[in-house]
Structures are given as C-alpha cells and as structure tokens.
Structure 1
C-alpha cells in the first residue's frame, strides 16, 4: 500500500485519479484483510475457539471484509484522495505563482533564468527596456505606468509564444528567448516588436502615452555560457540607450569600431548621456 500510495502522489490534478486511487486502495485493503482472515481462522479452529465451522468462518470473514472493510476503506480513500487533490492543485497554483510576475502575467526572472538554461541552438536573448519610464511615472502617475507595463507585456506575450518565451525581468525591463530562424530573422522579429510598441499609444487612467522601447540582443548556443549571453545582451541594450534609444542593437554592433562615431564627442556630453542612460535603466 505504501508503494502504491507513493506512486500516486504526484498525479492528483483531476478527480478521475481520485476514484481510481480509492478503488485501488479499497481492493488492496480487502485483499489484505482476506489474507489475514485466512491466516487467523485455522489456528482459532484448531484451538476450538471458533464458534462456527472453519469453512463457514472463512466465508463469513471474507464476505464481511468485502462489505465492511471495502466500504470503510473506500470512504477513507476518497477522503484522502480529495485531500491530496486539493494539495496537488494548491501546489500547482503555488508553483505557477512563484514563476509568474503578478502585474504582467509573464514569467518572472527566476522562471526566465531556468528557461534560458535550457535554450540552445538557433536562439537569441533579447532584453527590452521601456525608454524614459521614470518620466512616465512622474508625469502620469504609477497607475498609468502599470498600464504601460501590462500593455507591453501583452504585446511581448503575443509576439514570443510557442518555442519562444517572454518574461518581465523587473521594473520596465523585459526579456525574450527568441527561437527559430536565422540570426537576421530573429533580429527582425525583435525590431518588429519594438516598432509595434512605438506605433501603438497606450490609453489608461485618463492618459494616452506614446512609448518607445530599446532592445539589446545576444546570440545563444555554441556552448556559450548563459551568463555571458545575458551580459552581452545587457551591454547591447546599454549601447542602444546611449545611441539615442528607440532602437535595437545586436551584440556584434558593439564590437564594430565605427559605432563610436555616433556617440557625443564632448566628454561632458558623454557623461551626461551616460547618467541619463543609467537613470533610464534604473527607473
């Protein structure tokens, strides 16, 4: 019974399993009681303490074990099965909540990190950041800021489904594992999402907000460490911010020496832009 119970423990998501579990437990309980009766009655008959003939005692014992023992064990098994069903459902709901960002409904950072560890091959990591999000909160209020997060999340969830996956990494920062296609096709998918976000004003809480999103991309696969890919995507995002926001930058662009000509030549302007980027990233 203990082995059977252990085998059933992880599979109580539906009520059909409860009834199957109760039936199995009842059958095992009645079978065990019948065996016990068959082992006990012969010694009792030998000692002369059995009030009925041995054959009748065996029949009575087996019948009563099926009627009484079967009924009692069925009821107890159903009660235990329902309790384990509730426990299983609660555990599944808790696991879902622990992996989901409450506001956006997307995966949270923990679940995204787990998905990133399993990603390989024809895939890339994209990190998105809503431009000047702190200014949106300051001007329109946090309710409007939350509406922006929800709207962005809905578009990312629709754009990266199936084998791809999207997540909210924290604040106004999102991540996506883009799977399939060539490198150019994956970059185009990210660019298309950013363009859609920029062309779709968000109405909420008596305000209409036009947003832009910057993104950094790093390739996965080829035995590359996931921490290295995340760092590369983050640096590419920083470069997208430094180049003026509302753009997508692949990690390879940061390796090209020509990109530096797009940055301010004046050191003071560069420091100001750097500080502005930091504020935007941390907002």
Structure 2
C-alpha cells in the first residue's frame, strides 16, 4: 500500500496534474463525482441484496429514497475534502520541487544561470551556436581596493547589463568568480561579435555605484563558434583561449577563436621568445 501510494504521488508530480490551485479543485470535483456515483451504486446494490436475502429491516422503497437523498451529496462532499487535502499537499510539493530545481540552476549573486545550467543549455541547443566568455578586468584589484561588497556590486551590475543586452533570445550565465558566459543564437558570426562589442562598450562606459561612490570596469571576451562536430569542452576551451589572448593583449577587447588559431600557427613557424605568454596562464 505504501509503495503504491508513493508511486501514485510521483506519478502526479510527473504528470503535473496539480500544477495550480484551480487544477486541484477541478480534479477533486471530477474525482468526487466518480466516487459519489460509485458509492451510490454500491449503496443501491447493497439494499437490493439485503432485500433479496430478507435481511432488510424496513421497506425497500423508503430505503432507496433515503439512499438517493443522502449518499451522493455526502460522499461527494467527503471525497472533495479528502482529495483536495491530498491534492494541495502534492501541489505544494511540486511547487517546492520546482523552486528547488530553479535554485540549483541559478547563481544566487547575479541571478543568472550557473555553470551547470549553462552546459545543459548548450547540450540542448540544436544547430550552431556561438559561445562568448567574458571576464571582468582587474577584478581582484576591485576587491582589494574597495572591498568584497564592492566586488559583489560589480558582479551584479555587469550581470544586469549583459542580461539587458542579450535579452530573452540568448543564454546568460555566471560560471564562476568574475567570469560570465553567453550562448548566442544569431546566425551570423559578425552579428555575434557586434553584440559582444556592444556589451563591452556599454560596461566600459557605465559607472557602477558602490558604497564609496562609483567605479568603472572593463571586460575582456573570447568568442568561439560551435558546430555539430564540436562538443562543449572543445568550444569552451576555444573561447577560453580567445579570452586569454584578449587579457594578454591589453584587456578591454573581444577576440575570436580564429585569431588564436592564426596566432598559434604563426608561432609554430618561429622559435619561442622569452616574452611569449604562457599558454594556459590567465591574467587578471
């Protein structure tokens, strides 16, 4: 019985039959009507059975009239109450589960998606997409100079500007520290680059309010184009390499992954120089 009840509850949550209060009321009334009809039919059959066996202590017709008058409304009311209690309990559980799932996929500081949700969105995307990685330049100095609360204010402000620029048609996420990631579904590489440039310019030109006044920050970005043959790790690494090159090249700029590939090819044709950047070293 316990196992059957548990499976029924899980099935209700999966099917979404109690998504709203109106769903609970509607389904409770519908189920109560069925229960009332079954109860009335069983009551009538019981009366005929007792009458046939000679066990009826009173006349059949008055008993049937009484059963008809009382059984359907009483059973309906009891069934509505009982089913509604269960239904609202399941509805509350479903709401809690939905909220818990949302929280597990949301970065609490910025309100954007987190890294896990960002990767899920990439995996669910159909066709080619563009991945853009943004990193706030010299973010450590913001924390060291103005305090961690100012750093949080910067993260929130940058997240809000990215959200306003990219809107509903794109996926925005904070994937760690001062690093943000975007999935752009624009069909043109030049359009994706232009939108990333617009984000860079807006953030660079917008003062951010902190407790001690206002500061301005810049961002660097790396862009890589996804294809069906390239998975998340490969695209992310390409965008991250482009971001590193943007940092190494002076910050406050957007670099395409194709530029990294061209630079890598040119470096192969000459000996390594003392001033060359380390391949995997990220600059602040």
TM range (shorter): 0.7 to 0.9
**How far is the alpha carbon of 1:259 from its aligned partner?**
7.2
Q: Distance in 2 between matches of 1:125 and 1:51?
A: 82
Per the alignment, residue 55 of structure 2 pairs with 49
Structure 2 unaligned segments of length 5 or more: list them.
none
Q: Distance in 2 between matches of 1:142 and 1:4?
A: 49
Picking from 85, 93, 96, the partner of 1:87 is: 93
Larger displacement relative to structure 2 (160-169 or 135-144): 160-169
Contact 1:215 1:247 in 2 (8 A): yes
**How far is the alpha carbon of 1:51 from its aligned partner?**
2.3
Deviations 1:64-116 (A, max 9, x none): 22121111111222222222222222222212211111110111111111111
**How far is the alpha carbon of 1:219 from its aligned partner?**
0.6
Structure 1 unaligned segments of length 5 or more: list them.
none
Q: Is the aligned partner of 1:150 residue 2:156?
A: yes
Per the alignment, residue 245 of structure 1 pairs with 251
Per the alignment, residue 278 of structure 1 pairs with 282
Per the alignment, residue 230 of structure 2 pairs with 224
Q: Distance in 2 between matches of 1:224 and 1:59?
A: 75
Q: Distance in 2 between matches of 1:161 and 1:259?
A: 38
Q: Is the aligned partner of 1:134 residue 2:140?
A: yes
Q: Distance in 2 between matches of 1:36 and 1:259?
A: 88
Deviations 1:147-173 (A, max 9, x none): 000000001111112221101101100
Larger displacement relative to structure 2 (240-249 or 46-55): 46-55
CA 1:270–1:223: 2 relative to 1, 3 Å: closer
Per the alignment, residue 72 of structure 2 pairs with 66
TM-score by length of 2: 0.87
Deviations 1:216-237 (A, max 9, x none): 1111233321221111111111
Contact 2:247 2:283 in 1 (8 A): no
**How far is the alpha carbon of 1:7 from its aligned partner?**
5.5
Per the alignment, residue 22 of structure 2 pairs with 16
User: Aligned Cα RMSD in Å?
Assistant: 2.5
Q: Distance in 1 between matches of 2:152 and 2:200?
A: 18
Contact 1:127 1:176 in 2 (8 A): yes
Per the alignment, residue 110 of structure 2 pairs with 104
Q: Distance in 1 between matches of 2:239 and 2:64?
A: 76
Contact 1:122 1:182 in 2 (8 A): no
Contact 2:244 2:283 in 1 (8 A): no
Q: Distance in 1 between matches of 2:266 and 2:167?
A: 33
